[in-house]
Structure 1
Amino acid sequence: MTATTTYRERLYVTWWIWPLPLLAAALLAAEVHMGFPGVRSWLPYAVLLPLTVALIVRMGSTKVEVTGGELRAGEARIPLELLGEVEIIAPEDRRKAMGPHLDPAAFVVHRGWVKPLVRVRVTDPQDPTPYWVISTRHPEELAAAIKS
């Protein structure tokens, strides 16, 4: 039996974020190189640039999906029957939702380069987590998938 996926999204890092960490890695490699011949001339570039790319790709490997009767965000999962109200938080309200209005016990999957958020109440009385806050590029679709 296969699980039905009603929503799936990968919170990948957008293209305009890539140049800054790559430039920083290249500058750090150049600083280690400093014009010396031999291994010090190529090793920092061979190590730091691929490592930076791997870190950026790893940061963008977070999945948000509604499948098999569960909401999955990153490595966490919760059955849909334990979820209550779904609230879409607009990008302009994100700072308040992630700052003074954020419950310290909340489960958060937030990526700074993804502006909209969805807040989902947890109705399980044994779960100390009051709600989940999840970054998503398509908040209406995620909210509809959780509600259905």
Structure 2
Amino acid sequence: MILCGMLALAIIMYVPGPVGIVAGIAVVTLTIAGLLAWAPRIRVDTDGFRVNRNLLEPAWLGQATALDEAQGKDLLGPGGDVRAFLATCPWASGAVKVMVADPADAHPYWVVSTRHPQQLASALTRIAAAGPDQPSAG
């Protein structure tokens, strides 16, 4: 975001008049739209845990653990498994690690970045405890 602001300021300073202002605003708008489109879309409901178009059904939800920034960085680096499913964005300092209970799945766990790791881990624990045939509480 800082780089986006600096680029917009440079455009406004070096391109004279209203054209520079419009170009600067366009750069900021397109950058924000791109960042929002890049962010993982997370949903937890009775169908399971959905991240973008990927679904982990309640029957295969294992333990969900909220991670702080240091734990998340470790899993994304030397402490992680290369087979893990990753859905991360750089501005979210927290993450959740979700174990996959399906032995046939190629991913041993999912790591999903979020600004609210405790709430996401709690929601995943509730949906896993409710089971595939029962509605979740909450």
**TM-score for the superposition, normalised by structure 2:** 0.72
Runs of 4+ deviating beyond 4 Å:
28-31, 39-43
1:89 paired to 2:96: no
Correspondence for 2:5: 22
Question: Which residues of structure 2 form unaligned runs of 5+?
Answer: 127-138
Residue among 28, 44, 48 paired with 1:70: 48
Correspondence for 2:135: none
One-letter amino acid matched to 1:131:
Y
Deviations 1:32-74 (A, max 9, x none): x3x5x8x9756744643432232233234x3222112310122
Secondary structure at the aligned position of 2:111 is classed as strand
Conserved 8 A contact 1:82-1:124: yes
Shift of residue 119, structure 1, vs aligned partner = 0.6
Secondary structure at the aligned position of 2:99 is classed as strand
Task: Name the count of aligned residue pairs.
Answer: 126
Alpha-carbon distance change, 136 to 50 in structure 1, aligned in 2, over 3 angstroms: closer
Identity %: 26
Shift of residue 144, structure 1, vs aligned partner = 1.9
Q: Which shows bigger deviation, 43-52 or 124-133? A: 43-52
Correspondence for 1:105: 83
Question: Which residues of structure 1 form unaligned runs of 5+?
Answer: 1-17
Conserved 8 A contact 1:114-1:136: yes
